Amino acid sequence: MKVDRRSFLGLGLGAVAGFSVSPVLLKLTDDSSIWTQNWPWTPVPVDGEVSYQNSVCSLCPGSCGISIRKIDDRPVKIEGLDEYPINDGGACLHGISGLQYLYDPARIKTPLKKNGDKFEEISWDDAISMVAGKLMDIRATGSPEKLACIADKDRGSVSGLLKRLVTTFGSPNFYTMPSFESYLELTATPLHGRGTTIGFDLENSDFVLSFGAGVIEGWGSPVNCFKANASRKERGAKLYQIEPRLSNTAANADRWLPINPGTEADLALGLCAVILKNNLFAGTAKFKGGFNKFSATLQNDYPLSKTSEITGIKESDIEEMATLFAKAKMPVAVFGKGRGDGSQSLKELIAVHTLNCLVGSINRKGGAFIQPVKNYLEFPAESLDGIAREGIAKPRLGRYVHDLVEKVNASSQPVVEALFVYQSNPCYALHDTKTIKQALGKIPFIVSFSSFLDETAKEADIILPVHTFIERLEDIPSGSGLAKTVVGLSKPVIKPVFNTKHPGDIFILIAKALDNAVAQNFEWVSYDKCLEAVAGRIWKSLAKDGHVILAEDVPEGSPEIDVTYLSGNPASVQSNGDGDLILIPIDNMRLPSAAMTASPFAIKTVSDEVLKGRDTVVEINPKTAKGLKNFDYVTLTTPVGSAKVMIHLNEGMMPGVVGMVKGLGHTFDNKYVSNKGVNINDLIGPVIEPGSGLDAAFGIKAKISRA
C-alpha cells in the first residue's frame, strides 16, 4: 500500500466529517455568538438591591435637592429630588453627572507633601502634625495674622469651622472667592444696611429686566431659574435681556437689547432718570441719603440722549423700557452678568437694584426681597488668647482676594507665611492667573484642602484631600438670589472612595494639634457632632426632612433705601489696553468656571462653536471679522497675554466685541477636561473699581490677527 495524496484527502475529509457530526461546530457557533454579544471588555453593571437616598447638591451655589439611585452601596445615578423647595425634581447636567467626580482622574487619593517639584504620599498623622508644627512656629513669632485663608464661601458650618480656626489662631485674613452671594450682600449693604441680602422672586414676577443675568445659563440657583423661566410664557411674564451678545437667555427673551459692554450701570441710571423725570416711581419707598441730590445728578448726568450715546441703545427703546418696567404690576430688575459670580461693578449692581427700589418692587410679590442674612448656626463664643486678640486687631491685607494677591506680590518681605486654600481654585478662576501664581509662589507654606489636584492644589506644599460632596455630611444653605431661604443637608451616600477626610474633621484635627488656646475652641469629637451641636435649633428637622425652610414668604415691612453710594455718580470702570476690540467673557451653562471643573460628561456636551477639538472658538460679528471665515485660526492679544484661537462668526455678537467662553483651558492632570481651549483669565487682568475696591473688569481691549 502506498500513502498518496488520496490518503491525505481521506484523512482531511475524515477529520472534517468527524468534527462536523460531533457537537464542536454547534457548540462553538453558540459560544462565539454569546461572546460577540457580550464582549468581555465591555463593563457590565453589577446587579444588586436598588435604593434611593436623598441629599443636596453642592457643586454650585444652587443647592438643589437630589435623589441618588444606588445599587447596593454603590451610587449609580443622580436625579432631581421631587418636591424639594428649590428645584422640585429638576436637575442640571452637572448635578446628574456629579458621580463622575468620585472617580475623577485628578482626585487626590491620600495626603500629599511637596518634595521638590513632585508630591509624595504621607500619612494623615504626619500631614496634620506638619501643618500644626508650621502654624505653631508662626504663632510663636507673635504674628498670627500671617496665616491667610481663601475659601469658597463663608456660610455653613464647614466654612464656619475654618473661619473659627483662622480667627482663634489670631488672623483676620480670611477671604472668600467672588460669588453671586457675596455680590448680593455687597449690593444690599450700602442700600439697606449691613447684614442684609437680596432675593429675586422670578417665579412670580411679570416683568424681568435682566442686565446680562444668564437666567437660563447658570445664574442664581440654575434649576430654580430654569423653572421660573419655563413658566414665564404661561404666566404672561416678560423678559427683557440687556447684554452685548445674543446669549441663550437673550434668544429666549421677549426682547434683546444689545448694549455696549460695560455700560450697564449707565443704562440702569438712565432708566432711573426716565422713571424719576416722568414721575413713574412709587412714592411709598423710604429713601434716604440725599435722594433729591441723587435725582438731580441723574437728570443732569443721564439725559436720554446721553444714555443712548453711552449705551448704544436707542432713546425710544430706553424710554419704552423704563415705562414698561415702571408700569408693570410686579417688575424686577436683576443684575450679575452671566452666572453672576464673575467680576462685577458695584456701581452697576446698585444702579440696577435702585430700579427695583424706585418702582416699589422691594418686599413685594414678584419683586426683590430684602432679608437679613440668616444665621441658623450657633457656634459657642470664641475664646481668644492674647496672641489671637492682637492678631485679629491688626488690619486685614485687603478687602478681597485680589487685594491679598496684590499685597503679597508688592511686598519684598513675606506678608503671608502660610496660606490655607479651601475648595477654591484662585490660580484658575481669578483674573490674570500669572500674578496669582506668582503670589502663591512667594508664600512659604500653602495648605490645600481640595478633592482634586487642580491648578491651585499643584502650588501647595501640603494637600489634605477632602471628601467630595457625595461622600460627606454638610449643611448647605441656599442663597444666590433665591427668594426663599432653605438649608439642605448633604449626606454621605458612599463610603469615601479614597483616603480622604471630611474638611470639618480636618479643621478640628488641626486645631487640636495646636496649643490649647486654639484647641479649646474645638471640643467636638468630630464634625458630625459639631454640626449636630451648632445646628441645634434646626437639627432635628434638618436630619429628619433633609431640609429646613427658613424663609419663603414675602418679607414684611419696607426697608430703608440709602442712595448715598450713587448720589455722587461714581466713575464707571473702563477696560484696560489699547486694542480696537473688547474681549468679554461668556458664561456657558455647560462649563463651570469657578472651583468646580466640568465633568467628562459635561465637557462632551459643549458644541463645536465653543470648543473645536482642543481649540477655544471665540465669537465675533461678521462685520468685525474683516475677511476671516468660520474656524480660521487667529491670535488674540490683550495687554495681559495672547492665545491662538479659532473664530466663529456670530451676528448675535455686537460688532467690535469678541466673546470667549469661561471654563476652558484647565492645565491639571485630567485627560477629559484639561488642555482643551484657553483660560480667559490668562488674558484678562483685574480692573479695580474706585469706591468699592472690587475687581470690576467686564472685559479687556484686544486685537486679533490671522495666526
Partner 1 sequence: MSKKESESGSAKSAGECTAGDTKDDKGLGLGVIFFIVAFVICFLSGTLLFPKLLYSKKEQPFNFDHRLHVEQTGDCESCHALREDGSFNGIPKLAKCQECHSETPLGETKDEAVFAEMYVAKEKEVPWYVYSKQPDCVFFSHAAHTKTKGMDCVTCHGPIGTSTTLKPYEENRITGYSRDIWGQNIWGIKKHSWDRMKMDDCAECHKKETGHQGYCFQCHK
The site for partner 1 (CB under 8 A) is made up of 1-4, 6-19, 21-24, 26-28, 30-32, 34-35, 37-38, 40, 44-45, 47, 49-50, 72
Q: How far is CA 358 from CA 274, 362, 450, in A?
A: 11, 9, 44
Q: Which is nearer to partner 1, 28 or 707 (CB)?
A: 28
- Minimum distance, C-beta of residue 16 to partner 1, in the bound complex (Å): 8
C-alpha cell at 93: 447636567
- Minimum distance, C-beta of residue 31 to partner 1, in the bound complex (Å): 4
- Minimum distance, C-beta of residue 49 to partner 1, in the bound complex (Å): 6
Beta-carbon-side half-sphere exposure of residue 69 (alpha carbons within 13 Å): 9
Q: How far apart are CA 450 and CA 445, in angstroms?
A: 16
**φ and ψ at residue 329, rounded to 5 degrees:** -75, -40
- Minimum distance, C-beta of residue 513 to partner 1, in the bound complex (Å): 31
- Which residue in the block uniquely carries the three cell numbers 446669549? 247
Q: How far is CA 631 from CA 99, 588, 641, in A?
A: 34, 19, 21
Q: By the 8 A CB rule, do 619 and 636 touch? A: no
Q: How far apart are CA 335 and CA 302, in angstroms?
A: 20
Q: Which is nearer to partner 1, 23 or 395 (CB)?
A: 23
Q: Which is nearer to partner 1, 23 or 627 (CB)?
A: 23
- Minimum distance, C-beta of residue 604 to partner 1, in the bound complex (Å): 24
Q: Which is nearer to partner 1, 32 or 675 (CB)?
A: 32
DSSP code for 482: B
Q: By the 8 A CB rule, do 138 and 417 touch? A: yes
Residues near 331 by beta carbon (within 8 Å), at least 6 away in sequence: 205, 206, 207, 208, 209, 325, 356, 359, 361, 366, 367
C-alpha cell at 15: 477529520
C-alpha cell at 383: 475664646
Q: Which is nearer to partner 1, 45 or 627 (CB)?
A: 45
- The CA R_g of the chain, rounded to the nearest whole Å, is 29
- Minimum distance, C-beta of residue 10 to partner 1, in the bound complex (Å): 3
Buried b or exposed e, range 359-394, using 16+ CB within 10 angstroms: bbbbbbbbbbbbbbbbebbeeeeeebbebbeebbee
- Minimum distance, C-beta of residue 28 to partner 1, in the bound complex (Å): 8
Q: How far apart are CA 592 and CA 425, in angstroms?
A: 12
- Minimum distance, C-beta of residue 120 to partner 1, in the bound complex (Å): 30
Q: Which is nearer to partner 1, 290 or 496 (CB)?
A: 496
- Minimum distance, C-beta of residue 177 to partner 1, in the bound complex (Å): 41
End-to-end CA distance of the chain: 84
Q: Which is nearer to partner 1, 37 or 279 (CB)?
A: 37
Q: How far apart are CA 109 and CA 453, in angstroms?
A: 10
Q: Which is nearer to partner 1, 7 or 574 (CB)?
A: 7
Q: Which is nearer to partner 1, 77 or 306 (CB)?
A: 77
- Minimum distance, C-beta of residue 51 to partner 1, in the bound complex (Å): 9
Q: How far apart are CA 222 and CA 218, in angstroms?
A: 5
Q: How far apart are CA 197 and CA 472, in angstroms?
A: 28
Q: Which is nearer to partner 1, 10 or 142 (CB)?
A: 10
